[in-house]
Amino acid sequence: MKICALGIPGLVVGRHNVKDPRLDLVDQLVEAKKKTYVQVDVVGEEGLASADVFAVAPERRADLLLHDLEFVENRLGRGPGEPERSALTKLKSALEEDRTAAEAELTGPEREALAVHSGLVTLKPMVVASAEELERPELLVLRAYAAAGYISFLTVGGKENRAWTIRRGATAWEAAGAIHSDIQRGFIRAEVISFEDLVAHGGETGAKRAGRLRLETRDYVVQDYDVMHFRFNR
């Protein structure tokens, strides 16, 4: 995923680890040779159109709202038909009330009418940096990752304790594909331990002994930081 950083001095363009402290805790509980965080790409202003989420300094938020307000007013001035006109009118009201385009209450057809307009930047999620996050941008990256609609699941033990990226609402079958297409293709079952159970029972072995390991089917909706192992036909 991509984060567009605007006005965040410590958040430089490039690849960044999503330093979730939960993985640090798991790494203390489960022995492995290395620890691997999820990674995201940070882009600058030139990457506005391709970003999944915006991470902005407080003073830059107003710039983005003004950008979209000018875009909306220009589109309205061209006499668009319905339902685009209705959508643009709602956006204009929201932006003038200091709300983002994403916060406007649009119907399905109105959203579809706007989908062709890549010029609207605040239809995407936006996180405004706090004072602490300006000093510790890794915290901002973590919050932006969640705001963009992503969660992580874990594979643990042996060579690596690792976090993997999936969309919120993804199934066990989709999570298997995040690791390898062969695992997804041969999917049988997912062995799942919740993060909370892993911590409560002092690691994977303790959680298994306590009967906290579950077998889930391909349609199981993965929860944030589930610990997973996939059974599959090779």
The pLDDT of residue 115: 79
Q: Where in the chain is the domain with CATH 3.10.20.30?
A: 151-232
The pLDDT of residue 120: 87
Report how far apart, in Å, the C-alpha atoms of 31 and of each of 26, 37, 197, 198, 205 are: 9, 16, 17, 13, 11
The pLDDT of residue 118: 64
The pLDDT of residue 142: 97
**pLDDT at position 136 over 80:** yes
Can you give the pTM of this predicted structure? Answer: 0.90
121 or 2, which is more confident? 2
Q: Residue 118: left if φ>0, alpha if ψ -120 to 50, beta else—which one?
A: alpha
Instruction: State the average pLDDT over residues 124-153.
Output: 96
Sheet hosting strand 2-6, strand order edge to edge = 14-18, 38-43, 2-6, 53-56, 126-128
The pLDDT of residue 150: 98
Instruction: Residue 37: name the closest of 48, 23, 54 by CA.
Output: 23
44 or 116, which is more confident? 44
The pLDDT of residue 48: 83
Instruction: Residue 24: name the closest of 5, 13, 8, 37 by CA.
Output: 37
The pLDDT of residue 197: 98
Name the pLDDT band for 117 (thresholds 50, 70, 90). Answer: low
Which are the contacts of 158, defined by CB distance < 8 A and separation ≥ 6?
A: 32, 33
Q: Does domain 151-232 have CATH number 3.40.50.1980?
A: no
Instruction: State the average pLDDT over residues 227-231.
Output: 98
**Mean pLDDT taken over the chain:** 95
**What are the tokens at 55?**
């991470």
* pLDDT tens sequence across 28-74: 999 999 999 999 999 998 888 889 999 999 999 999 999 999 999 99
The CA distance from 60 to 63, in Å, is 5
For helices 84-96 and 58-76, the axis angle rounded to 10 degrees is: 150
